[in-house]
Amino acid sequence: MKKLIFFLYLINLIYILKAQEIPVPVVVDTVKSGRFDIVLFTDRTWQYVDHDSIIKIVRAEDSVKARKYIIENKLYQPDSTTVFSENWDTVNIFAFGNIDYKRALDTVAIPVLRDTGKFFIPVPGYVQSKFGWRWGQMHNGIDLDLKTGDTVVASFDGVVRYAGWNTGGYGNLVIIRHYNGLETYYAHLSALKCKDNQPVRAGELIGLGGCTGRCYGPHVHYEVRFKDNPFDPEWLINFETKELAVDTLILSPEKFGHVKEICEAQYHAVISGDTLWGISRRYGVSIKYLCSLNGLTENSILNLGQKVRVR
């Protein structure tokens, strides 16, 4: 009798668990709409997919399961040559016209590697300085230690969009656009070993490390950007293990809060006679606030032309 009761209990438990299962949504139809496909699922959710790019645009109204289904099943892997025709600029370092928070208002799921792609750490040195606000300015990448003349390699397969001297502080700079639409920046190089429009493979030599431009010691300044908007490379790469941190990079508007802050930041250019007290009075903020924003102390000496962040 006990065996029969246990058996009936087990059957009932299985039935309850089965009833609670939510089937994975299946694509039932695809509607063409301009440069987007609208993908319809059996669970009545929908998805915009940009068929001109490998990037999947995920709207807030979509279910998590629908998004996961598209990513895992690689429903859309269009010709990546379109990635290299959108805003391709070999003269200006920012192909889309500098950072713009409006480009980050959608959540995007970006496959990091193609099926045959590989990843290489650009240099094996330790992290000297991380991504984030530093001395009142946004440090848009990670600084990796090296010695002048050390080899710097491409992180991923791609095409060199820019290879040359930058007057804005990067010094000798290489920018590579990759097949998933991301771009990586390699700055302060002592020598360039690639040229504009050159296809490169992950691990291929692109330059030699150094300290050119606005630099205080040999290192490579490494950035990762999505349509000019920088984000923390550590979301993508584990610099301790020298391996990828994720297979699919999820970028949401919340992760680009720093871009919004950069766009809204205000600065004061120091002129003769300026003091922290005078600047604080002019902008209606405290000296303590200015010091915390800019990495200063109350006794710091201000230099002519120095930009002091006030908001």
Selected residue with higher pLDDT from 190 and 67:
190
CB 307 within 8 A of CB 269: yes
Write out the two tokens for 117.
């792609």
Strand bridging mode 36-41 / 27-33: antiparallel
pLDDT at 30: 57
Res. 307 pLDDT band, cuts 50 70 90: confident
Beta-carbon contacts of residue 240 (< 8 Å; ≥ 6 apart): none
**pLDDT tens per residue across span 252-303:** 888 887 777 776 677 788 888 888 888 887 877 787 777 777 777 888 888 8
Question: Quick one: pLDDT at residue 53?
Answer: 42
Instruction: State residue 275's pLDDT score.
Output: 86
pLDDT average, residue stretch 86-94:
92
Cα–Cα distance measured from residue 73 to residue 131, given in angstroms and rounded to the nearest whole number: 33
Level-2 CATH architecture, domain 127-244: Distorted Sandwich (2.70)
At 61 the pLDDT is: 40
Per-residue pLDDT at 154: 97
Q: Where in the chain is the domain with CATH 3.10.350.10?
A: 266-309
In the chain, CATH 2.70.70.10 sits at: 127-244
Q: What is the mean pLDDT of residues 229-235?
A: 93
Are 201 and 154 in contact by the 8 Å Cβ rule? The answer is: yes
pLDDT reading at 55 higher than 50:
no
Give dist(CA 68, CA 88) in Å, integer. Answer: 31
The residue that leads in pLDDT, 212 or 298, is: 212
CATH of domain 266-309: 3.10.350.10
- 151, 123 in Cβ contact below 8 A? yes
Question: Which pLDDT tens digit goes with each residue over 130-161?
Answer: 998 777 677 899 999 999 999 999 999 999 99
Threshold 0.85, pTM exceeds: no
Query: How far is 57 from 107, CA to CA, in rounded Å?
Result: 6
